Amino acid sequence: MRKIIHIDCDCFYAAVEMRDDPSLRERPVAVGGRPESRGVLSTCNYAARKFGLHSAMASSQALKRCPDLVLLPPRFEVYRAVSRQIHGIYADFASLVEPLSLDEAYLDVSDSPHCQGSATRIAGAIRDRIRSEVGITASAGIAANKFIAKVASDWNKPDGQFVVHPRDADTFVAALPVGKLFGVGKVTAARLNELGARSCGDLRDWPLPKLIQHFGRFGHRLYELCRGVDERPVSNEQPRKSLSVETTYVHDLPDLASCLDEMHVLITDLKARLERAHDVPLPYKAYVKIRFSDFSHTTVECLSTAPGPDTWARLLAEGFARRSLPVRLLGVGVRFEEERAEVRQLTLFTP
C-alpha cells in the first residue's frame, strides 16, 4: 500500500510577503500585475478572499471589490529561493518528491524510515519545519494515491492536514462533487451536472461506453477517478510537455490584422526559448491561445513538427473567427511528442 503526501503551501506568494513585512498580516494582500497594465492576481491571502478575490482575477476587478487591497508586484527570485528551502525539507523525509509548482509537491513516503513510518506524522513534521524554518504555513493531504491526497490537502486549509485511510477512500470519493476530478473544469462539470452526475457516486452509475461516448478518451479517466483509482507513481523525472509565450495587451487588439502584426514578436520569443531549452523532445503540435475582450478564450492547434509563420497565421485566423471580438491576450506554443510506443499510430499494413 502506497503512502502519498500532497503538500500545498497556503497562499504562497502572499504568505512570503506577509512573512517579510509583518505589518501586512491583518490586511488583505494580493500579489499580481497592476490594473493599468491589465494585470491579474497570482494569489491572495485569506483576508482578501473574504471579499471574493481569487487567483487569475483581474486586478482592476479585485480593487473594486476590495478598495483597501494591498497589491504587490511579484518577486519571483525570492519565491524561488523559498521554494528551494522547502524542497530541501522534503528531501530530508522522502527520496521520491514530485514538484508541481514552487509551492506544491507530492511525496511518496511508503518506505520512509522517519516517524516510525507514519505518513501522518511525517506530514506533520514537514509542516512544523516549514513553519519554524521558513516562516509560512502549509497544508497536507495523506492517502494511498495522488488524486485522493491532492483533494485531501484542501480539506483543512489553511495550516491543516487531512488523512483518507484506505478503508475510507471509497466513501470519501463517492461523495465528492464531479468538479473535484482531475481535468474537470467548470464547463465539463456543468455538462456532467446537466446529464445528472453531480457526485462521483452518481458518475459510477455510468457504464464505460457511455462515458467514452460523451467524453472520448477522457471517459476512461473519469471512469477510474470517480472510483478513486489512480495508479500514477510519484516521479521526480517530469519531462516538459509544452512550451509557450503569451502577452496581455494594455489596449485590446481590435481586429485580425492587428493580431497578426503582434504575432511575429511572440513567435520570435518562442523560438528563442526553444533554442535555450535542453533535452526536450521534438515538437509535434503548434497552438495559438486567444483571450477576447469579454474574457472568453479559445485554443487552436494542429500537428506540426516545425511550425512557420503560415502555420501560426492560419491558427490565429481560425481562433479569431470563433468570436471576432477585440483581443486582450495572445499566446503561441508547442506541445512535445510523447516518447511512449503505445501512443504512436501504427500503419494499417504494419507486419
pLDDT digits (tens, 9 = 90+) for 295-342: 888 999 999 888 888 999 999 999 999 999 999 999 999 998 754 333
Identify whether the C-beta of residue 119 lies closer than 8 Å to the C-beta of residue 149: no
pLDDT band, very low/low/confident/very high, at 344 (cuts 50, 70, 90): very low
Tens of pLDDT, residues 107-159: 999 999 999 999 999 999 999 999 999 999 999 999 999 999 999 999 999 99
Q: Which CATH architecture describes the domain 170-225?
A: Orthogonal Bundle (1.10)
pLDDT of 104 higher than 80: yes
For residue 337 the three cell numbers come to 511528442
Q: Tell me which residue of 81, 52, 82 sits closest to 69, measured CA to CA.
A: 52
Q: Tell me the C-alpha distance between 44 and 60, whole Å.
A: 14
Domain coordinates of the chain in residue numbers? 1-113+123-139, 170-225, 242-336
Distance, first Cα to last Cα, the chain = 41
Number of alpha carbons in the 13 Å side-chain half-sphere of residue 334: 24
pLDDT at 351 over 50: no
Task: Output the pTM of the full model.
Answer: 0.77
- Mean residue pLDDT of the chain comes to 90
| Residues tagged active-site | 104
> Is position 103 annotated in a ligand binding site?
yes
CATH superfamily of 242-336: DNA polymerase, Y-family, little finger domain (3.30.1490.100)
Is it the case that residue 345 has pLDDT exceeding 70? no
Amino acid at 67: P
Higher pLDDT, 348 or 235: 235
CATH number of this structure's domain 1-113+123-139: 3.30.70.270
Tens digits of residue pLDDT in 20-70 = 999 999 999 999 988 887 788 999 999 999 999 999 899 999 999 999 999
At 338 the pLDDT is 58
What is residue 63's predicted lDDT score, i.e. its pLDDT?
A: 96
Going by C-alpha positions, the residue among 116, 112, 121, 167 that lies closest to residue 144 is 167
Beta bridge partners of 71: 30
Residue 8 annotated as part of some ligand binding site? yes
